[in-house]
Structure 1
Amino acid sequence: MKILIISGIVAFIALSVWYAKRNGATVEYKSEPKKILSEQDKPIDFGYKIVWIAVKTDNKSELSKILGLKNVKPSNWTSGIENAYENSVFITPQIGDWTLAVGMGLPLGDNKESIEKLEKVLNKLSSEFGEAHFFGTHRVVEYHNWMKSVNGKMERIYSYVGESMENIKVFGNPTEPEKGLKLFNSLSEEAKSDEYFDREDLDYADEELVMKIAGNWSINPTQLTERTDIKNELGMVGK
């Protein structure tokens, strides 16, 4: 019983913080900033309960500039990921042809306003570097999002919040890892009928699908420790 109560409290806190940020509220409780370390270390897997941008570039400084980061400091993986979960943004060392910017300091993409912000940012990034992606997932509210921009134009958006059974935005044609799926779309013509919500042939996004798409488009961040093409360098942390 105690375990159930504690689990419920933890889930409630996570949900409250997520919605507070989603709705632009200021959370009174603020954890102490994590110390930023500059001793090189090994890559750390991430991807769950977080958002990130993948850009086909090794130019961290320009990426930081376009994202509008301030107080940028060199950081290793350990302090970078810790700060990413504390409302900062960590720009990773180069991973193959890609660099990731991860952190709750980015727009979350779970409402129309932040989707619009992300579209502008991704289009600017892909205009500069050729291709840019956004991914987000949080299992507590069943929020899942993927966005793809190529050469300055948005090609695909799928943003879904399972708790409220609604899509924030769906745009473009399904990409290769989405083909064969009948993804739930509350914005579709079919969804105007109540019968749509009782269909058993629909597919619902989850965090594993987000990782599968990320791996197909660019980088699956849950598998970083398995890679051998990550540059031995520091990343950058900013707000």
Structure 2
Amino acid sequence: MIIIILCMTALTVAGAFLLARAGGEKRVYFAQAPDGPCAFGCSMAWLAVRSDDPLEVLEALQLEDASACNWNSGIGAVYDDWLGATRVFVSPAVEGWVFAVGLSLPHPLGTGFADKCTPLLVDLGSRFSETQYFFSYPPIDYYAWARVKDGRLVRAFAVSDEGVVWNKGRPSREERSLGLKLFELRGVRGRKGDAGGEIILHPTEDHVLRLANSWSIDPTTLHVSHAPAGLGYIATAPYRWRTERTRKAA
């Protein structure tokens, strides 16, 4: 499945936009021919917002320089090394959910950094009945998820190779069913590794995608059959989302 997603991403990046030079300035054109859903999720961050209106989600996020684009170009852009650093794709609605996809979404980073993720989720929670956040990035061993229902942050969790950096609310039933209930302890009781130390219990990308499937939709399974052809929006993440230290590093 991951190989299929990566191949699909390479094709979307190659065909999603045209770069042209005019007067020495690089310009980006995004395709606006309506198309059906494209899969994403591997090594990516996204919001799943309970809504049928992508424009309403776009406005709530206060994204900048928005323009219409289709699934193929939007997903291709957020996976691109250059465009993905600052872009967010707001998708057409799929089965009552609108996705906001991009590595430029705020991420919880723990002590020493301003928490810009929680305020964003709480604000969305005041506008939509449910908002979910997911982030899976195996290259840095970072995984996160959060859920806001009826205006209340009921669960938020993030872990990196340095340990838990975000932990609010009680583990959900869906987390426990995936064997995630012991993450706070960072180990498994009664089991020993080959070196005699405690075995570290750590989530994987598969856990994040399975949890997304339990709460809303696993985006790696999206296919054109999930929704009619449509257009979403590609936009620039606001400057206020950028990482900010609250104190100097030691």
Match of 2:201 in 1: 203
1:168 Cα deviation after fit: 0.6
Unaligned stretches of 5+ residues in structure 1: 1-31, 191-196
Match of 1:150 in 2: 149
- 1:122 is paired with a residue of what secondary structure? helix
Match of 2:106 in 1: 107
Within the candidate set 217, 231, 235, 1:234 is matched to: 231
Match of 2:77 in 1: 83
1:44 Cα deviation after fit: 1.4
Gap change, CA 1:76 and 1:127, over 3 Å in 2? same
* Cα distance in 1 between the residues matched to 2:131 and 2:114: 14
| Pair 1:36 & 2:24 matched | no
- 1:177 is paired with a residue of what secondary structure? helix
Match of 1:217 in 2: 215
Task: Please tell me whether the aligned partners of residues 66 and 121 of structure 1 are also in contact (alpha carbons under 8 angstroms).
Answer: no
1:49 Cα deviation after fit: 1.2
Match of 2:159 in 1: 160
1:100-156 per-position Cα deviation (integer Å, ceiling 9, x unaligned): 000122113344587832211212212211110100011111100001111221110
Moved more, 135-144 or 113-122: 113-122
Match of 2:64 in 1: 70
Task: Please tell me whether the aligned partners of residues 39 and 220 of structure 2 are also in contact (alpha carbons under 8 angstroms).
Answer: yes
Match of 1:56 in 2: 50
Match of 1:174 in 2: 171
Task: Please tell me whether the aligned partners of residues 90 and 233 of structure 2 are also in contact (alpha carbons under 8 angstroms).
Answer: yes
Gap change, CA 1:208 and 1:73, over 3 Å in 2? same
1:15-69 per-position Cα deviation (integer Å, ceiling 9, x unaligned): xxxxxxxxxxxxxxxxx77531101223211101110000000122221122110
- 1:62 is paired with a residue of what secondary structure? helix
After TM superposition, the score normalised by the length of structure 2 is 0.71
Unaligned stretches of 5+ residues in structure 2: 1-25, 190-195, 237-250
| Pair 1:47 & 2:41 matched | yes
The count of residues paired between Structure 1 and Structure 2 equals 197
Amino acid at match of 2:141: E
Gap change, CA 1:83 and 1:59, over 3 Å in 2? same
Amino acid at match of 1:209: H
After TM superposition, the score normalised by the length of structure 1 is 0.74
Q: Greater share of helix residues, 1 or 2?
A: 1
Amino acid at match of 1:216: S
- 2:136 is paired with a residue of what secondary structure? strand
Amino acid at match of 1:84: V
Gap change, CA 1:207 and 1:41, over 3 Å in 2? same
Gap change, CA 1:230 and 1:113, over 3 Å in 2? farther
Q: Greater share of strand residues, 1 or 2?
A: 2
